[in-house]
C-alpha cells in the first residue's frame, strides 16, 4: 500500500469538495498550536455528532479573524502537501462574524490567500451557505460574494432531509449568469428523490456527495444526462455512517453506471484522510485498479 500511496502522492490532484476552515492537516495544526490536544475519532455519531465535535473542538480554536485566516492558510498548505494543484473549497459566510461583521474584510482575507499561493496552487474559493441561513443574508452578503472577483462559485450545505431549496434558486441563477460554479450537498443521508428535487430546483453543476443516487436508475440517468458530476468523499461518508466501510460504499456501483465522479477530502481536520490515502485504500481493498483511480484523479483536474 505504501508504494501505491507514494505513487499517487507524487501525482497532481484536485480537491473539489473541501470546507476550507475545517481542512487543515492535523500535523500542521499541532505545529501551529503546540500543545493543543486534538484527536479525531474513527467515527462520528452521524451528522449531528460531527457538528457537536466541531462546536466542542474546532470552534474553540476560533477567537479572532487571525485564527480563521490561520486555519484556512493551513488548509491550503495541507492540500499542497498532498500535491493538490487545484483546490475548490467553500468558505462559510458565517465566518464574517470573526471579521467584526465586515464582509469587505472577510472577502479581502480570502482574496489575500488566493494571491499568496497563486504560484503554488489553483485555489478557487466558493462562498459556502448553510441551508438554514436567512434568505436576507443569502441575497445580501451571499450575492455580494458571488458578484465579487474573489469567489469562483457557490456551495450550499447542511442537513439534507426535508429541506426546501427553492430560496436559493435566484442566487444559483445569478451564479450561472456570471459563469460561477454551483454546487449543492445532497444525497449523503437523504434519498435519491431528494437528489432529483435538488437538480430540478437548482440545476447545479455538481453535487457534493450524492451517493444515494445509486438507489435509482432514473436518478443516475438524470445526473448523467445533465452532465452533473458527483464530488464524493468516501472516508468522510464512512466516518459519518453514510456507508459501512469501503467495500460497502456505493462508489464502485456509481462508477460502473457511468456517473462522472471525483474523490475528495471533505474536512481533512475531522476525517484525517488525504486524497492519496483514499486512492490507496480503494486499490488495496480491491475495489478499483490503479488505472481506474488514475482516471478519477484526472476528472478533478478537467478544465471548465
* CA atoms within a 13 Å half-sphere pointing along the CA-CB vector of 233: 29
188 is known as an active-site residue: yes
Q: State the architecture of 2-299 in CATH terms.
A: Alpha-Beta Barrel (3.20)
261: β partners: 230
| Cα–Cα distance measured from residue 253 to residue 67, given in angstroms and rounded to the nearest whole number | 41
CB 234 within 8 A of CB 263: yes
- Asked if 122 and 87 count as a contact pair (C-beta separation under 8 A), the reply is yes
Mean pLDDT of 191-211: 98
Residue 304: what pLDDT?
41
Say whether pTM exceeds 0.85: yes
pLDDT value of position 172: 98
For residue 268, the model assigns a pLDDT of 97
Task: Give the pLDDT score at 81.
Answer: 97
Nine cell digits for residue 124: 478557487
**CB-CB contact of 145 with 133 (8 Å):** no
Q: Give me the catalytic one of 160, 188, 196, 206.
A: 188
Describe the strand order of the beta sheet including 229-232 as a list of residue ranges: 13-19, 84-92, 122-130, 153-157, 181-186, 206-209, 229-232, 261-263
pLDDT digits (tens, 9 = 90+) for 59-80: 999 999 999 999 999 999 999 9
Percent of the chain with pLDDT over 70: 99
What pLDDT shows up at residue 1? 60
Pairing mode, strands 206-209 and 13-19: unpaired
- Residue 303 pLDDT exceeds 90: no
Give yes or no for residue 84 having a pLDDT over 60: yes
Domain ranges of the chain: 2-299
Q: Are 171 and 146 contacting, i.e. CB atoms less than 8 angstroms apart?
A: yes
Whether 195 contacts 207, CB under 8 Å: yes
pLDDT of 5 reads: 76
Beta bridge partners of 206: 183, 229
Express each pLDDT in 252-298 by its tens digit.
Answer: 999 999 999 999 999 999 999 999 999 999 999 999 999 999 999 99
Would you state the cell numbers that stand for residue 37, as one nine-digit string? 490536544
Amino acid at each position: 500500500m505504501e508504494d501505491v500511496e507514494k505513487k499517487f502522492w507524487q501525482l497532481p490532484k484536485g480537491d473539489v469538495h473541501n470546507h476550507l476552515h475545517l481542512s487543515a492537516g492535523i500535523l500542521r495544526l499541532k505545529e501551529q498550536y503546540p500543545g493543543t490536544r486534538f484527536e479525531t475519532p474513527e467515527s462520528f455519531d452521524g451528522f449531528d455528532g460531527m457538528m457537536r465535535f466541531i462546536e466542542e473542538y474546532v470552534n474553540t480554536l476560533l477567537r479572532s479573524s487571525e485564527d480563521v485566516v490561520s486555519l484556512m492558510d493551513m488548509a491550503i498548505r495541507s492540500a499542497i502537501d498532498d500535491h493538490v494543484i487545484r483546490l475548490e473549497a467553500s468558505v462559510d459566510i458565517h465566518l464574517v462574524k470573526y471579521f467584526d461583521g465586515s464582509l469587505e474584510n472577510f472577502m479581502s482575507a480570502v482574496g489575500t490567500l488566493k494571491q499568496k499561493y497563486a504560484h503554488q496552487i489553483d485555489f478557487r474559493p466558493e462562498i459556502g451557505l448553510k441551508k438554514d441561513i436567512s434568505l436576507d443574508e443569502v441575497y445580501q452578503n451571499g450575492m455580494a460574494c458571488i458578484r465579487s472577483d474573489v469567489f469562483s462559485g457557490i456551495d450550499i450545505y447542511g442537513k439534507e432531509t426535508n429541506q426546501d431549496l427553492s430560496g436559493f434558486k435566484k442566487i444559483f441563477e445569478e451564479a450561472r449568469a456570471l459563469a460561477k460554479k454551483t454546487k449543492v450537498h445532497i444525497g449523503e443521508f437523504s434519498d435519491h428523490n431528494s437528489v432529483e428535487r435538488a437538480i430540478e430546483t437548482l440545476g447545479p453543476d455538481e453535487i457534493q456527495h450524492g451517493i444515494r443516487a445509486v438507489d435509482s436508475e432514473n436518478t443516475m440517468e438524470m445526473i448523467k444526462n445533465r452532465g452533473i458530476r458527483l464530488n464524493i468523499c468516501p472516508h468522510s461518508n464512512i466516518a459519518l455512517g453514510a456507508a459501512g466501510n469501503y467495500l460497502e460504499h456505493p462508489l464502485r456501483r456509481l462508477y460502473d453506471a457511468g456517473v462522472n465522479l471525483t474523490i475528495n477530502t471533505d474536512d481533512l481536520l475531522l476525517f484525517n484522510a488525504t486524497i492519496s490515502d483514499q486512492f490507496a485504500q480503494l486499490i488495496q481493498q480491491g475495489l478499483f485498479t490503479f488505472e481506474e483511480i488514475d482516471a478519477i484523479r484526472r476528472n478533478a483536474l478537467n478544465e471548465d
